[in-house]
C-alpha cells in the first residue's frame, strides 16, 4: 500500500480531485495536487471524510472506484464510439466512453470521461453517470455511444441503453412475420428494448440525471446511437433503426420537446443503408435475409451551408466511415450517398472544432472492442464537403 492510499479504494489525491469536481461543477484537477504538510493519519482521516461526503451527497458527485491517472495518451485509453466535447466554458476537451460496473460503487454500468487541454495528454477516468436502479434499462448492461451536447445552458448526455432481460413489446409495429430475423444476441433470443435516452447536468463532468425514464424513439423500435441536431430552433434526435428489426438498417429522426425529455412527434425516415452503392451485394444463393447495418449518425453543416451526415456500416466485412448529403440542405432530405471517408476498419466518427480553430475528426479503430482506440485526424471543410488530412 502506497502513501495516501486506503485498501480497496483509491489514492486520496484522486479523491481530492473528485471532491473539487463535485463542488465546483467543472474540472480543475491538476496532476500536482498535494496535501502539503499533512501527516499520514490526517491524510487518512481526510480521505474518509471525502468518502463519507460522497456517500451522503450522492447528488453532488459520483465516486469512481478506479484511480484517476494523468498524462495518458489516446493509445493507452480503451475507446469505442468516441465522442469529444470541446467545452468553451472550461477550455477543456472531454472524451466520453461507456463504463463497466467496476467503475461505480454499486456495480452499475455508466459513462466515464477523460479530460485534456491539448488533445495529447489525458486524465481520467472520471465517473459522470451511472444507470439508475428501477430504470427501464438493465443497470448491469453496458450502454453504448455516449455523447454530451451543450444546449441552452445545460449539458445533455445522449446514451443508448439496453435491457436484454425483457422482451420487446410491439406497440406501433405489426406482429412479427417470416421476414423478421430470429435474433440471438448475448445468449438472449429475440428482440429486446434498446434506445437512446437523454440525461441532464450542470457540468460536462456530471453527474447526469434522468429527465424522463424512457428512450426518445418509440419503445418498440430497436434503435441505437442517437445524436443531437437543431434546425430552425427545433431540437431533433437522429438515430439508427437497427437491421435486427428492419433488416435494411435505417437512419431516422424525431423532433424533441424543448427540454429534450421526450419526442414531440412521430419519427420520420431519412435513408436506408442499402442506398449506399458501395455496400456489399450478395452474389450467391442462401436461405437467410440480406441485411445492412446503419451505425453512428453525426451531422455537420459546412461553411457553405451543405448538410452532411457521417455514418458507419461495413464493406467487405470491414467497418467504414461514410458521408451522406442532404440535397435540400434540410434534415428531412432527400439524402444522397457521397461515398466512404475512411476505411481500414475505422468508424463511428464525429467532428469538433479545436480551441485553435482547426477542425478535428475522431473515430475508433479497429472495431474489435478489446483493441479499439480513438484516433484524431485533421479534417478540412471544403465548403462543398469534407477532406480528411491523413
Residue 180: CB partners within 8 Å, gap ≥ 6? Answer: 245, 247
Q: What is the pLDDT of residues 10-24, one digit of tens each?
A: 333 333 333 333 333
**Domain presence at residue 316:** yes
Residue 68 covered by a domain = no
Same domain, 3 and 136: no
Q: Is the pLDDT of residue 204 over 50?
A: yes
**57 occurs within a structural domain:** yes
Q: What is the pLDDT of residue 184?
A: 38
Least confident of 97-106, 308-317, 323-332: 97-106
Mean pLDDT of the chain: 83
Residue 293, SS3?
coil
Task: Please report the pLDDT score of residue 50 as a whole number.
Answer: 43
Phi-psi region of 37 (alpha: psi -120 to 50; beta: other; left: phi over 0): left
Q: Give the pLDDT band of residue 289 (cuts 50, 70, 90).
A: confident
CA dihedral defined by 259, 262, 264, 269, rounded to 10 degrees? Answer: 120
pLDDT over threshold 50, residue 180: no
Residue found under cell 465516486: 63
Residue 102 CB partners (closer than 8 Å, separation 6+): 65, 66
| Distant-in-sequence, close-in-space partners of 284: CB < 8 Å, separation ≥ 6 | none
Domain shared by 40 and 170, yes or no: no
pLDDT at 178: 39
The cell numbers describing 228, all together, are 443531437
pLDDT of 285:
84
Whether residues 158 and 209 fall in one domain: yes
Q: Looking at residue 215, what is its pLDDT?
A: 97
Q: What is the pLDDT of residues 235-260, one digit of tens each?
A: 999 999 999 988 999 999 999 999 99
Q: What is the pLDDT of residues 65-113, one digit of tens each?
A: 689 999 999 999 999 999 999 999 999 999 999 999 888 778 899 999 9
Q: Does the pLDDT at position 283 exceed 70?
A: yes
Whether residue 264 has pLDDT greater than 90? yes
Q: Which of 38, 61, 84 corresponds to the end of one domain? A: 61
Residue ranges making up the domain that contains 32: 1-61
> 29 falls in which pLDDT band (50, 70, 90)?
very low
pLDDT exceeds cutoff 60 at 318: yes
**Boundary-marking domain end, from 36, 61, 86:** 61
Residues 178 and 312 in one domain: yes
Q: Do 231 and 208 share a domain, yes or no?
A: yes
pLDDT tens-digit series, residues 155-169: 999 999 999 898 887
Task: Give the three-class secondary structure for 325.
Answer: strand
Contacts 24+ apart (CB under 8 A), 107-113: 107/139, 107/140, 108/132, 108/133, 108/139, 108/140, 109/139, 109/140, 109/141, 109/142, 109/143, 110/143, 111/143, 111/146, 111/157, 111/159, 111/206, 111/208, 112/64, 113/204, 113/205, 113/206
**Residues 228 and 344 placed together within one structural domain of the fold:** yes
**Is a pLDDT exceeding 70 seen at residue 279?**
yes
Work out the percent of the chain whose per-residue pLDDT is above 70: 78
- Quote the pLDDT of residue 365: 96
Q: What is the pLDDT of residue 66?
A: 80
Say if residue 119 is in the same domain as residue 56. Answer: no
Domain count, the chain: 2
- pLDDT above 80: residue 216: yes
Burial of 293 (0-12, 13-18, 19+ CB in 10 A): middle
pLDDT, tens digit, for every residue of 38-51?
A: 444 554 454 444 44
What's the pLDDT score for residue 41?
Answer: 52
Cα–Cα nearest to 205, from 121, 53, 91, 96: 96
> What is the enclosing helix (H) or strand (E) of 56?
helix 40-56
pLDDT tens digits for 346-359? 999 999 999 999 99
Residues 23, 130: one domain? no
Percent over 90 (pLDDT), the chain? 67
pLDDT over 70 (residue 265): yes
Residue 38: the pLDDT is 41
Residue 390, classed as helix, strand or coil, is coil
Does 371 reside within a domain? yes
For residue 186, the domain's CATH number is 2.115.10.20
Assigned domain for 156 exists: yes
Task: Please give the average per-residue pLDDT across 140-156, as a whole number.
Answer: 97
In this structure, the answer to whether residues 37 and 159 fall within a common structural domain is no
346 and 218 together in one domain = yes
The whole-angstrom separation of Cα 205 and Cα 128 is 5
Cα distance between residue 79 and residue 375, in whole Å? 9
**Dist CA 14 CA 68 (whole Å):** 6
| Residue 69 located in a structural domain | no
SS3 content of the chain, % helix, strand, coil (to 5): 10, 40, 50
As a whole number of angstroms, the distance between CA 390 and CA 296 comes to 21
Residue 19 belongs to a domain = yes
Asked if 176 and 259 sit in the same domain, the reply is: yes
Q: All 3 cell numbers of residue 269? A: 425516415
Asked if 4 and 102 sit in the same domain, the reply is no
pLDDT of residue 64: 61
The number of beta carbons lying within 10 Å of the beta carbon of residue 136 is: 14
In a domain, 70, yes or no: no
pLDDT at 82: 97
Q: Is the preceding peptide bond at 40 cis, omega within 30 degrees of 0?
A: no
Confidence class of residue 171 from pLDDT cuts 50, 70 and 90? Answer: low
Amino acid at each position: 500500500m502506497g502513501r495516501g492510499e486506503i485498501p480497496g479504494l483509491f489514492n486520496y489525491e484522486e479523491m481530492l480531485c473528485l471532491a473539487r469536481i463535485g463542488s465546483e461543477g467543472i474540472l480543475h484537477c491538476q496532476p500536482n495536487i498535494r496535501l502539503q504538510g499533512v501527516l499520514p493519519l490526517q491524510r487518512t482521516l481526510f480521505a474518509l471524510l471525502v468518502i463519507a461526503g460522497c456517500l451522503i451527497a450522492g447528488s453532488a458527485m459520483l465516486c469512481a472506484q478506479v484511480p484517476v491517472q494523468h498524462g495518458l495518451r489516446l493509445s493507452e485509453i480503451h475507446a469505442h464510439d468516441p465522442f469529444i466535447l470541446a467545452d468553451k466554458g472550461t477550455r477543456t476537451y472531454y472524451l466520453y466512453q461507456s463504463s463497466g460496473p467496476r467503475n461505480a460503487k454499486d456495480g452499475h454500468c455508466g459513462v466515464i470521461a477523460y479530460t485534456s487541454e491539448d488533445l495529447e495528454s489525458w486524465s481520467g477516468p472520471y465517473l459522470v453517470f451511472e444507470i439508475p436502479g428501477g430504470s427501464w434499462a438493465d443497470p448491469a448492461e453496458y450502454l453504448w455511444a455516449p455523447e454530451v451536447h451543450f444546449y441552452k445552458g445545460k449539458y445533455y448526455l445522449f446514451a443508448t441503453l439496453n435491457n436484454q432481460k425483457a422482451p420487446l413489446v410491439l406497440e406501433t409495429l405489426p406482429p412479427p412475420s417470416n421476414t423478421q430475423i430470429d435474433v440471438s444476441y448475448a445468449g438472449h433470443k429475440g428482440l429486446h428494448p434498446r434506445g437512446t435516452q437523454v440525461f441532464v447536468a450542470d457540468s460536462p463532468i456530471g453527474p447526469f440525471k434522468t429527465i424522463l425514464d424512457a428512450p426518445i424513439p418509440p419503445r418498440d423500435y430497436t434503435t441505437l446511437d442517437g445524436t443531437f441536431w437543431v434546425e430552425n430552433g427545433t431540437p431533433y434526435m437522429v438515430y439508427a433503426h437497427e437491421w435486427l428489426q428492419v433488416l435494411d438498417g435505417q437512419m431516422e429522426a424525431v423532433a424533441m420537446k424543448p427540454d429534450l425529455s421526450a419526442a414531440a412527434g412521430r419519427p420520420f425516415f431519412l435513408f436506408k443503408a442499402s442506398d449506399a452503392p458501395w455496400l456489399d451485394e450478395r452474389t450467391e444463393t442462401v436461405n437467410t435475409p440480406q441485411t445492412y447495418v446503419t451505425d453512428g449518425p453525426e451531422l455537420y453543416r459546412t461553411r457553405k451551408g451543405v448538410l452532411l451526415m457521417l455514418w458507419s456500416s461495413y464493406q467487405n466485412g470491414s467497418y467504414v466511415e461514410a458521408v451522406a448529403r442532404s440535397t435540400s440542405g434540410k434534415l428531412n432530405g432527400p439524402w444522397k450517398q457521397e461515398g466512404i471517408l475512411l476505411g481500414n476498419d475505422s468508424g463511428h466518427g464525429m467532428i469538433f472544432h479545436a480551441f485553435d480553430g482547426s477542425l478535428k475528426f475522431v473515430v475508433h479503430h479497429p472495431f474489435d472492442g478489446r483493441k479499439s482506440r480513438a484516433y484524431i485526424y485533421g479534417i478540412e471543410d471544403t465548403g462543398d464537403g469534407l477532406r480528411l488530412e491523413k
